[in-house]
Amino acid sequence: MNFDTLLATFEPRLAAAFREAFDEIRSSVVLARVIERLERGDVNGAVEAMQIEPEAFSALEIALQEAFNAGGTNAVGEFPRVMDPKGNRVIWRFGVRNPVAEAILGDLSSTMVTHITGDQREGIRQALEQGLARGANPRSTALDVVGRQNRVTGRREGGVIGLTRYQIEFIERARLHLASGDPDLMNRYFELKTRDKRFDRAVMVAIRAGKPVTGEALTKIVGRLRDKNLLLRGEMLARTETMMALSSARDEAMRQQIEAGKVQAQDITKVWRSAGDSRVRHTHRVLNGKSVGMDEVFQSPSGALLRFPGDPRAPIFEISGCRCRLEYKVDQIGAVVRRYRAEVV
């Protein structure tokens, strides 16, 4: 299985696990408890009542672990066939239970979940405060956050649970523009790439009539905007986290071979390979084809240093949505000669 196939396999799994986690959180919310706290003015209590807890993301952590394991196995599978001085084939293996590998995976997993839960609590708190500030009653404010129940499916839909706080701000601004009645502000709706174009006509009619979009029409438009942004959020998170897991595992797999004495770091060269299309960020197009030693880093034109694509130590603007990969080249002749000399000595 090549790297692109790994991405295509595990990215949808992480995205699905992300959506399922928030579907479960949304469906588990006891609305009355949230409303009761909002009526008391206890916004923090309302946030806690939604129980955005790390345990809710166990399926997402399992999907990340599977991607990590597959990434390490994939790396050793790409190693060339090498014979030792005695004519025995060198066997490349990835130890997923290796303490260093477990520590890397644990850090990736905990960082991911901590970021998601922290950002969620902050975003939900912000949405509740905005709802109350604009004069919405506690029940309406709570429904805007947790979503409204579909009469057919019985499931909650819409709401902001699962969105980043920046997406929540973006959607609230769109809602305010549509409800303003100001043609210039309302026209900004048509600039939104995540809007549902089926509502374009209704918005245009309101603009021409010089009226704001209100009531159920506004609720539906904003609801669809939330749904599309949630889908985008899941896809972007899945791509970024999958890349970090696969690339981190591949790097660790190489280091395990070095630690085992099967190859030396000086015999390994890392070559940056971009996805090769128009979606590749400029800095990574520049890096395409560049090579460095195993213990060296790539320097992006932005100044950022990356050990590999999706490096969790790199700035988010260099790794978010990245689809690049590394090609590891092993100097087979050099490796055999050095191993032979070591045995002779």
Q: Tell me the C-alpha distance between 324 and 309, whole Å.
A: 6
pLDDT at residue 218 in the model = 93
Q: Are 158 and 223 in contact (CB under 8 A)?
A: yes
**What rounded mean pLDDT belongs to the chain?**
91
Q: Tell me the C-alpha distance between 141 and 135, whole Å.
A: 9
Is 335 a residue whose pLDDT tops 90?
no
Binned at pLDDT 50, 70 and 90, residue 271 comes out as very high
Q: Are 243 and 310 in contact (CB under 8 A)?
A: yes
pLDDT at residue 331 in the model = 83
Is 80 a residue whose pLDDT tops 60?
yes
Q: Tell me the C-alpha distance between 267 and 290, whole Å.
A: 17
Binned at pLDDT 50, 70 and 90, residue 102 comes out as very high
Average pLDDT over every residue of 208-212 = 95
Please calculate the CA angle 43-48-51 and round it to the nearest 5 degrees. 145
Q: What percent of the chain has pLDDT over 70?
A: 95
Strand partners, 292: 270
Q: Tell me the C-alpha distance between 269 and 254, whole Å.
A: 11
Structure tokens that stand for 204 in this block: 């245009």
Q: Average the pLDDT over each of 75-84, 163-172, 206-215, 226-235 and give the range with the smallest value.
A: 75-84
Kindly report the length of the chain. 345
Q: pTM for the whole thing?
A: 0.87
Is 72 a residue whose pLDDT tops 60?
yes
Structure tokens that stand for 341 in this block: 């000399």
